[in-house]
Structure formats: C-alpha cells, structure tokens
Structure 1
Amino acid sequence: MRHDAQRSPAGAFRRLDAYMAEARERLSTGSALCVVRGDDVVHEAYGGRHGAEPGSRPIDAVSQFHLASVRKTYLGFAVSLAIEEGRIASLDDAAADYLEDAGEVPLAGITLRHLLTHTHGLRRGGEAGREFPPGTGWSYNNTELGPSLPAGAFQSLGVYGCAVLVLPLHGAAAVRMLNGFKPNPPGYDYLADIRRFGDLVLEALECASMKG
C-alpha cells in the first residue's frame, strides 16, 4: 500500500476529524484514524496519548491498540483468502478437519461457517458441552477453541472503541482505533456511534471525490 502524495482535500475530512476529537474526549485518551481507498491512504489522523499518566506516549502512526473484536474482521479476511488460495475448500467444511487440537471442545457437526457466524452453540468460556445444536441459534461468546488457533481467535473482549468499516461502493475502508482507557459514559449507544462514524466517512469520501 502506498501513501498518496496527492491527499484528498483536508476540508473533506474536517468533520470526521472533529468527530474523532469528540470521541477522544468522551471515550479515551487517544485515537487513530485511517481511511483507505484502493491502494491509497487518503486520510489519516492521530491525537491524544496512550494513557492518562503524565508523560504518556503520544498516539502516532506506529501506535498499537488492543483490537478486541476487531480481530474478527481480519480473521474473516484470512479465511476468505484461504478459500481463494484453495487452502480451505468451503465454509461448510467440518471445523474439526482444520483444527488439530481443540481439547475437549465438542466440534462434531460444527462447520467453519458456524464458527464465523457464532452459530456453533459452544458454551461460553470454553466449558465442555453446548448451549444449542449447531446452526439452530446464535450466541456471541468467548469460547476458546484450543491451542491450534491464534490466541484470542473467535473471542469477544468487549472493547467498543475500535471499528473497521468496509465500503464496497467506494472501494474503501476506514479504521477507527481508540485506546479504551475511559469507561463508556452513561447512555452511550455503540451502534449509533458507529453509524455516525460511517456516515461521516461516507460524507468525507464523497466530498473528496467531488473536489478531486
């Protein structure tokens, strides 16, 4: 990926940058924003610090964040790439065919699709047994599927500050990272917040396209 020297006009992203500053004030001590279209980074912005302690390191382009559930986005992409490369035949393959050691987790009847869509029915916290037969229900839980998977795979860690939005009509993606240092304020609506973020990203991309 290359950083495009001809960045979209800064004014197109002014409202989005103001939103990120507001998010830092309400939800965290620091944030990072990156908007990519095609192979170009069309906008990026960093602000705040890694913590509330005096002298805490400023957020910048090499800062690392706790990804939490955002890792599911990367996992989904990795699975789709494995299918394209022929490493996985189908999402409907048995999960046990790809996991060498799932410990005592009962994988019989569970497919990769069940794992990716949280319809596997496995109990929360890695306990043996099931909440429901595979494919008959939905549960967003923290089940760990043994040492053959990367640490944290298929886990929800409950940090709401981070988001990845894919915008196919624009050939773009936007990543918002917050360090999650502060607790969510009373009445905070995560879904409404993400919708607002998405609307501002779309507005900025459309504005930048008109100016470009």
Structure 2
Amino acid sequence: MQHDLVVNEWYSGRHDHTASSRMVDAHSQFNVGSVRKTYLAMAISLLIEEGKIRSIDDEVGLYLNELYATASGITIRHCLTHTHGLDIQEGQYSRAFRPGEDWAYNNAGITILIELVARLTGQSLASYIIDNVIQPLGFTETGWRTRYNELLIYNHYHEDDNWVGPNDSSAGDQSNLFISARELAAWGNLHLHKGKINGEQVYPKSVFDRMTSLQTPKTLHPALPRQGFIWWLQSHSPLNQIGDQVPHDSFQVLGITGCACLVIPEYKAVAVRMYNQLHNPQGYDYLEDIRQFGNEVHSALQASAEPRPLP
C-alpha cells in the first residue's frame, strides 16, 4: 500500500501441499506468528491512554503482585523491548541477566504483558482487542482462531512439531492469530498514519507515537536491537531485521511463519508478505531473507518515485 491505495497485490500457491487444497487468494488468512504481539502493544498503549498504566517504567510487580519478587526491577518497558532478562520454562520464570543490560527474544515478557492486560481490563487480550480494535476497524479477516475453516492456512496443527501450536485458546495467549494480507496491510497503514483513517483521527496520535518510537532502555549496548512497543525499529544493530537500504524512520514486525509487515513513512508505504513457513530448508539464512525483502521493497518504491525521462 502507498498513499492509502493498494499499488501491488499478488498471490501464489495453495493452502497446503495437496493438489486439491484451496488456492491462496486475497481472503486467505495466515497464522502470523509473532506479528500478533503488535496487537498486545496496542492494548498496552491504549491502557496508558486510559490511565490504567501510569508509566512503562513501572515495575510489573506493581500490577501483578504475585510477580513482585520474581520480577523485581523488571519494568513494562523491559517486557516491551525484550530486555527483561527473564526466561520461562513450563510456567516457571528464571533470570538470565539483569534487566536492561542485554537483549534476548523470548516469550517471558509477552506472557507477563498478556496477564497484565487481563488484570487491568477484566478481559482476555483477545476480547479487549476485539472490542477496541477489530470491531471498530471493521476487520472481518483478523482473529484468534481455534477451529479450522477453509479460509485458514492452518500450519499443519496435526503435527507434533508444528512450532506455532497449540491453537485451542480464544484468549489471545497463543500463537493462533490469523490475518489476511489486506487486513495486515491495513494494520500497518493505521500505524503509518498514527491512528488516522481516511483523514479522520480514529485513535489518539499519542497511542501510535509511543508504539513506534524508540523505547529501548538507554543502558542497552548500541550493537543490540532497537524497538518501540515490540515493533522493530530501523537501526545499525547486527541483529537488526530490517534491510540496510530501508529509510531510518521505518519499522517492522514479523513472525516465525515468515509473515512480515514493514512500514516505511518516508514513502507513505506499507509492505506485507505472507508465508506458511514451518521448517527452513537447508542453507536458508533467515536474517538475509527478511533484510532482502525490505531492500527489495525500498528499491521498488525508490524507482517509482524517480521522475521518468520524457519520450
């Protein structure tokens, strides 16, 4: 999408490996993996707007008393930027490093934030997002799915090692958010325009300023990733997942299935790719692949912006 218009759209393949499966099209809904976490980020930012969260520099134990000792020194900011230093195994937390001193991508902080939303709202994350985001935006191809239907690309949930399962909870606490390519692009476009839709300010601009501006603790080494509220921000970190040619103000989210949403404000553009990837082929370089995606998008936008010579 660019300037609120779909300027390129392309689909290929089938929903699974069988020749009789449904062809992928505009209504196919993909399991987006960790892309789901940006909806959690939205919930946290809305709760700040509502005054239910005072500051992201509050320790999580102030809101979740049972974690007061376990998560001592760990703030909401640490959880949003993967700098909390916690690990979680079978529901038990352990410390890997002191908060704000390192970066590690895992779901310990995400689990805490999901519980925080439930505690402050009296609703599950999914219920809160449905009421405050999905329904107001008129999304019909976005949701946490627990039952198969023909529009869903279901990532082989019958396999024991499926990476993205299980999918039996409708609470928003599992990796079972399914989205169509168009609605994920609309989600990115909402962030691009900081809550405006067709020129109307649907959500406060401050909600999106928080999510897409630098929130990584200043104590973190400059070689480590920079993030807003979960969104990756363009940086020169060796672990950065945005192509080096993509403009400095860009931000991106991606999931283990290969899905990604890249927002490039300089070009007023959003690019989405949707995959059903579960197992990487031999020799596949994940970082190289996702960076190349961003660089290809940038090259196309740059070429389209250049004045063409007169005939």
TM over 0.5: yes
Q: CA deviation at 1:89?
A: 3.7
Q: For 1:1-212, list aligned pairs within 5 A.
A: 36-80=1-45, 82-83=47-48, 86=51, 88-98=53-63, 106-125=70-89, 126-143=91-108, 144-145=111-112, 147=115, 148=118, 150-152=172-174, 159-181=256-278, 183-210=279-306
**Identity across aligned pairs (percent)?**
50
Q: CA deviation at 1:186?
A: 1.4
Maintained 8 Å contact 2:61/2:69: no
User: Which segments of 5 or more consecutive residues in structure 2 lack a partner in the other structure?
Assistant: 119-124, 126-171, 176-229, 231-253
Tell me, in whole angstroms, the C-alpha distance in 1 between the residues paired with 2:47 and 2:268.
22
Tell me, in whole angstroms, the C-alpha distance in 1 between the residues paired with 2:74 and 2:277.
34
Which one is further off, 125-134 or 57-66? 125-134
Maintained 8 Å contact 1:105/1:128: no
Residue 13 of structure 1 corresponds to which residue in structure 2?
Answer: none
Q: CA deviation at 1:91?
A: 2.2
Report the residue type matching 2:30 in the other structure. Answer: F
Q: CA deviation at 1:162?
A: 1.4
Report the residue type matching 2:304 in the other structure. Answer: A
Secondary structure at the aligned position of 2:10 is classed as: strand
Secondary structure at the aligned position of 2:6 is classed as: strand
Maintained 8 Å contact 2:31/2:257: no
Q: CA deviation at 1:151?
A: 0.7
Tell me, in whole angstroms, the C-alpha distance in 2 between the residues paired with 1:171 and 1:87.
32
Q: CA deviation at 1:48?
A: 0.7
Q: CA deviation at 1:54?
A: 2.5
Report the residue type matching 1:69 in the other structure. Answer: S
TM-superposition CA deviations, 1:87-136 (whole Å, max 9, x none): 5443212324455877x993332211100111112223332332223223
For the aligned residues, what is the CA RMSD?
Answer: 3.2
Secondary structure at the aligned position of 2:266 is classed as: helix
Tell me, in whole angstroms, the C-alpha distance in 2 between the residues paired with 1:189 and 1:163.
16
Tell me, in whole angstroms, the C-alpha distance in 2 between the residues paired with 1:49 and 1:101.
46
Tell me, in whole angstroms, the C-alpha distance in 2 between the residues paired with 1:40 and 1:86.
35
Residue 18 of structure 1 corresponds to which residue in structure 2?
Answer: none
Secondary structure at the aligned position of 2:93 is classed as: coil
Secondary structure at the aligned position of 2:273 is classed as: strand
Maintained 8 Å contact 1:160/1:190: no
Which one is further off, 165-174 or 88-97? 88-97
Please, what TM-score do these two structures have when normalized by structure 1?
Answer: 0.67
Q: CA deviation at 1:177?
A: 0.9
Secondary structure at the aligned position of 2:11 is classed as: strand
Tell me, in whole angstroms, the C-alpha distance in 1 between the residues paired with 2:263 and 2:11.
20
Q: CA deviation at 1:50?
A: 0.8
